[in-house]
Amino acid sequence: MPLMTSWVPGANSPDTDFPLNNLPYGVFSTDEMDERCGVAIGDMIFDCARAEEEGLIALSDSPLFDVPFWNEVMEAGPEVWAALRARLVELLGDEANRDAVAPLLVPMAEAVLHMPMLVSEYTDFYAGRHHATNVGTMFRGAENALPPNWLHIPIGYNGRASSVVVSGTDVRRPWGQLKSPDHDLPAFLPCRRFDLELEMGAIVGTASEGPVTVTEANEMIFGYVLLNDWSARDIQAWEYQPLGPFQAKATATTISPWIVTRAALEPFKCDTPEREFELLDHLKDAGPMLYDIDLRVTLAPEGKPATEIAHTNYREMYYSSAQQLAHHTTSGCPMTPGDLLGSGTISGAEKHERGSLLELSWGGKEPLTLDSGETRTFLEDGDTLTLTGAALGDGYRIGFGPCTGKVLPALEDPYAR
């Protein structure tokens, strides 16, 4: 699909994350305006709340943009999603609408971005084969790297919606109970092995009551964001057996501010990899449901330039988000608009394609050297991590906007009060 041209400044640039082909959904405010829903286009944000007030968008009997989150649009369902996208293409693509629409554009440079939706629940999966193999090799040895269930179901755990934050939010190093290998007993200390996980987040747009098929699950997905699943590896290593991660993953999960829709990503869909075991019927592949999305991670020490530490692609996943969502419903578990599903860490086969410091430094044994000359095994206080991602078209990119966060030092003692 070629670039769709727009009259909005910056929208036809090959460097922008937000050409007319994209039209991602976010929430913004300015010094003069309260938080409201908007659409990124070039260097600008189109004010959906005002567009609805002025009758430029009229998609349902009750207002969709009277609240500063996208959940009401999600609940309105796929027909409204398609109608909204078609209307936005008209308004922002057709020069004839310029006089009516231009006053509703806000320069992105003047805006503060907020959480794009209310996160109802958050589930994190473990569906990247290279990541699971790397971590399993480190923890259990190469012979037992993949657990016996791994090639048959997308395994995951229920995370915390309450600590999902938008890009730009600082993240404080947690304290927790950890046990170093050379001690017999655990101690309560600040995390020493604080890490990132490069993931994609799928946002559920419509509710389910009973089990759904993979095809139905795909139709339920409203869009995707970048996701950093901050991970305290030393807390995780001590607590995870047998129920999986708990406090190691509860400090924060950062998402990028713009929800990129399935419609925008449609030209970039691709197949899941060859199956070693045939999947059972309820998880069988039902057409291409992964996406070719170029993903990068940079790390910038306090006051220093950023170094790219990882470069991989979403198509490396073994299970699609649609398969993860279908699996999530097999028990009858109801899914609701605003549910967030983390893909699992996305790593490729090569060393520079690994989506966590745990893998990049091989459990801390092989420090990385940054452009500043400093080395890293895990995150230091003051480090800023930035995830970026884009589907690369011919002369344009479908980008997500940065997913960034800075590590603040641990509190002196969280129980000293």
* 57 or 191: CB nearest Mn ion: 191
Minimum distance from CB of 48 to Mn ion (Å)?
32
* 45 or 248: CB nearest Mn ion: 248
Contact between 229 and Mn ion (CB under 5 A)? Answer: yes
Minimum distance from CB of 130 to Mn ion (Å)?
14
Catalytic residues: 131
Minimum distance from CB of 164 to Mn ion (Å)?
13
Contact segment (CB under 5 A) with Mn ion among 9-17, 51-59, 79-87, 190-198 equals 190-198
Minimum distance from CB of 352 to Mn ion (Å)?
20
Contact segment (CB under 5 A) with Mn ion among 30-38, 44-52, 143-151, 225-233 equals 225-233
Q: Closest-CB residue for Mn ion?
A: 229
* 33 or 240: CB nearest Mn ion: 240
- How many of the chain's residues bind Mn ion (CB under 5 A)? 3
Contact segment (CB under 5 A) with Mn ion among 49-57, 65-73, 120-128, 369-377 equals 120-128
One character per residue 140-179, x = contact with Mn ion (rule: CB under 5 A): ----------------------------------------
Contact between 124 and Mn ion (CB under 5 A)? Answer: yes
* 124 or 383: CB nearest Mn ion: 124
Contact between 316 and Mn ion (CB under 5 A)? Answer: no
* 197 or 339: CB nearest Mn ion: 197
The residues in 252-281 that bind Mn ion, with binding defined as CB under 5 A, are none
* Angle at 328 (CA atoms; ends 322, 333), nearest 5 degrees: 135
Contact between 197 and Mn ion (CB under 5 A)? Answer: yes
* 17 or 229: CB nearest Mn ion: 229
Contact segment (CB under 5 A) with Mn ion among 64-72, 85-93, 123-131, 234-242 equals 123-131
Residues that bind Mn ion (CB under 5 A): 124, 197, 229
